[in-house]
Every structure is written in C-alpha cells, then in structure tokens.
Amino acid sequence: MVASTRVLLVHGLWYGRPGMLPLAVRLRKLGWECELFGYSSVFGRAAENVERLADRARKVDGDRLHFVGHSLGGLLILKMLAEAGGVVPGGRVVLLGSPLNGSAVARRMAGNRVLKPWIGQAEALLDRGVEGLARGREIGAVAGTSSLGAGRVVARLEKPHDGTVTVAETSVSGLADHLELPVSHTGLVLSRQVAETVDAFLRTGRFRRSCD
C-alpha cells in the first residue's frame, strides 16, 4: 500500500532540505511518507554525499523506497544507485530538472573564477552528468519549460529550458518516461501539477498527462 512506502527527497544545489518541503507537503497529502535528505551541495565531496545517502537508504525499514531528486539531487541519487544500488531497497526514481547530460550553466560557472566558488564540489557531478542509469529501476524525468531563472544570465541556453537546465539536458536513453511541464527550475519543487505527476509515476511507473 502507498501508506507503507517511503519517499526520500533530495534537494539540489543551494536549496537545502527546506527547499524540498513544499513538494513533501503535497506528497504527504497524497498519501506518501516523505523524508528530506540534506547534504552539503557546495562544499561536500560527491563521494561523501553518495556514501551518506546510501547509508540513510539502507536504514529504511521494508523493501521499498522511492527517490525524488531535484536537479543536482537527482544526479546524486543516480550515482548512489550505480554504486550501492544492490543494498538499497527497491523503488522508483523521479528526477526533477536534473541535467543528466551535464549542465551548460555549471560548466560556465566552473570556468569563471568569480562564479566557480558558488558551484564548488558540485562541479564533479554537474559537469558531465551521468554515464548510465541504474538497472532494474523505473526512472522518470520531468523537465521545465518556463524560462525564468538566473541560469540564462550565466550561459546561453538552448530552448526549451527552465531558466537553468535545458530540456535536452534532462533526457537520456533508458528513462521509463520523460515529461515536459510549463514550470521553472524552482517551480519544479513548488508546483501542484508537478507533485501530482510525481505521485502518478511513483504509483504506476508512468507520468500522468493532461489527456489521461
């Protein structure tokens, strides 16, 4: 039953645990037991964050644990599953605006001595994205198409994009489903429509379209 399953929400760069609270509140109202995972997105090394996430996931009671990651958080989840997926409870994964093919904005920031400190250790994950998706798990990605965000000031982004991450950066082979919604990068964790489509994927392995 839905009430017996848990969802671990992982925030993106700069957001911190409170950044995922609006989404968690909506998912809880839809019947999910949500937990927010916090980590140092700028100063924490990727390997350390992956180890901490895997350790938290292993401690969950039961054999089902779903993951929802926003932006960098989605990349952290995928790296964790690639390295420790065999000892983590099975479940579905939803990625919200995660640059699976690497982030043009992050690369531009990393190449600028003024902006580089703002991305810090996150460069290791954001530069190239992921090499492949974890096997045996249904993974869905949601991309925003409302181009409101500071990222477009840092780098010229290919349309459509959410103001920080392009739609093309969020799509790779092997995804169970991919959906575009008219929200910004921050809107991906604030939107009721996003919460409802996350709920649909966690239940069925497919996103709900407006015509469904």
Quick one: average pLDDT of 15-29?
Answer: 95
How far is the C-alpha of 82 from the C-alpha of 135, rounded, in Å? Answer: 8
How far is the C-alpha of 167 from the C-alpha of 38, rounded, in Å? Answer: 26
How far is the C-alpha of 55 from the C-alpha of 46, rounded, in Å? Answer: 14
Residue located via tokens 């992921």: 130
The pLDDT value given to residue 1? 39
**86: pLDDT strictly greater than 80:** no
pTM listed for this prediction: 0.92
pLDDT digits (tens, 9 = 90+) for 144-203: 999 875 555 566 788 999 999 999 999 999 999 999 999 999 999 999 999 999 999 999
Query: Residue 203 is inside which H or E element, if any?
Result: helix 192-204
pLDDT digits (tens, 9 = 90+) for 96-116: 999 999 999 988 888 888 888
Residue located via tokens 């799509």: 171
Which residue ranges form the domains of the chain, and what is each CATH number? Answer: 2-204 (3.40.50.1820)
How far is the C-alpha of 209 from the C-alpha of 94, rounded, in Å? Answer: 15
